[in-house]
Amino acid sequence: MNRRSFLGLTGASVASLAAAKDASAADRQNRPNFILVFADDLGYGDLSCYGHPTIRTPNLDRMAQEGMRLTSFYAAASVCSPSRAGLLTGRYPVRCGQPGNLGPGSTGGLPLSEVILPAALKPLGYRTMAIGKWHLGHTPDYVPTARGFDSFYGLPYSNDMIPPWVKTDRPLHLYRDTESIESPVQQETLTERYTEEAVKFIRRSRGSRFFLYLPHSMPHLPVSTSRRFRGRSRAGLYGDVIETLDWSMGRILATLKQEHLDRRTMVIFTSDNGPWLNLPARMLQQGNERWHAGSKGLLRGHKGNTYEGGLRVPGIVRWPGRIPPGQISEDIAATMDLYTTIVQAAGADLPADRTLDGKDLMPFLAGKAPSPRQEFYYFRGSNLEAVREGKWKLRLSRSMRDDLEKDDPLTPELFDLDFDPAEQYNLADREPDLVARLENKLREFAAELSAKVVEPR
């Protein structure tokens, strides 16, 4: 090869590298932003677009009209910490080592081997922030800024984890990153302050890609809102709290439009579990009332159990230009699917060394395919109690793993959720073959989890 040819190839290689670099920069610029809003104990029937007759949620209603409203959307668990674990890992909580709640006295948290959403996005240059209730560990190795978030503003766990509602000597603190900035916490203005922090983060991040995780403290008891919002709702204090959350959503969506980020941002609104209707006596003091919990709508059950009211929650997804407006879907989807959907939409790599339970929802959300999720498993703590496959749900009231070692039969409950979402009519005696098949599905999944519950260690 002569020198001229060599120089020509070298020049072409340099040009190719430069073009690749430009393409890479353009690709980074075109990656979407993500805003994931996670209410606390918000029930399936708490929004006007999900049927509440007196709570007004015009901003969330409009968000639903501009995207997709899901009517069979499930949290990963029916209580706080495991639900958050499933959301941020894309794995059933029992699989990722967080089947139960954490509290002020906890010393650990979500296992450090888990690759949560912000950590998966960081290699692509995403700015990340968590604002609100964390509840996945409050000791130094487990706080948000140790798990992939650039910054944090919020509470380490639930807003009731202080006297008189919980026996603890640890005061509740509001944190900025790892520094306490307020104690006692002024809960009346939490939703407003979270919202303003979110607006500031969006504006600071408009020149780069970002992931904002906003797990609200409300409407977990004790419910609270500022004077600005009190008395607005015909549904009393609880309604005021929900309408404050709706105001927050409107403020965030308006900021995206103002910053010309609307069409580059996927926004998701959902809840960690159903309403806390079975209030323990410890919560019914200092102004808390039974009606300060939310509505399950037409569903059966509540927070803490595996009937539909415990895990089926509102799910609204909006992304102008990518998700067609006006969609309502009865297909099954779950918060674990948001992990896989967000990571894949960002162009990031999914962890390859563990089982992921989340499915990529983008073709479904785009109106191009049915939901990839055909089944969902219901856990109460570590106990596997039910499975839904299509329209059919089989529920058993005791751990299948325990049952493997027992001879006494279980009485199954079989529901057709298409015509009976309230789970009023047990059809088990009419469909014995279906019951047997779904029982076997539960046994197989329980056996898989028993063999390898947390992976990798």
**Which residues have a Cβ under 8 Å from the Cβ of 174 and sit 6 or more positions away?**
153, 154, 155, 180, 181, 182, 183, 185
Best CA proximity match to 51, nearest among 290, 247, 314 = 314
Best CA proximity match to 400, nearest among 411, 413, 390, 386 = 386
Catalytic residue list = 80, 135
How far separated are the first and last CA of the chain, in Å rounded? 55
Beta strands in 134-197 (DSSP E): 151-155, 174-176, 179-182
Best CA proximity match to 147, nearest among 84, 218, 75 = 84
Q: How far is 115 from 306, CA to CA, in rounded Å?
A: 27
Contact 355, 91 (CB under 8 A): yes
Q: Estimate the crossing angle of helix 335-346 against helix 80-89, to 10 degrees.
A: 30
DSSP character for 163?
Answer: T
Burial of 170 (0-12, 13-18, 19+ CB in 10 A): middle
In the structure encoding, which two tokens stand for residue 101, read together? 């709640």
Q: How far is 63 from 367, CA to CA, in rounded Å?
A: 17
Q: Estimate the crossing angle of helix 190-204 against helix 236-258, to 10 degrees.
A: 10
Contact 73, 314 (CB under 8 A): yes
The sign of the dihedral angle between the CA atoms of 38, 41, 43, 48 is negative
CA geometry: angle at 297 spanning 295 and 303, to 5°? 55
Neighbours of 279 (CB within 10 A): 17
Best CA proximity match to 345, nearest among 359, 357, 326 = 359
Helix (H, G, I), strand (E, B) or coil at 154: strand
In the structure encoding, which two tokens stand for residue 325, read together? 């407006």
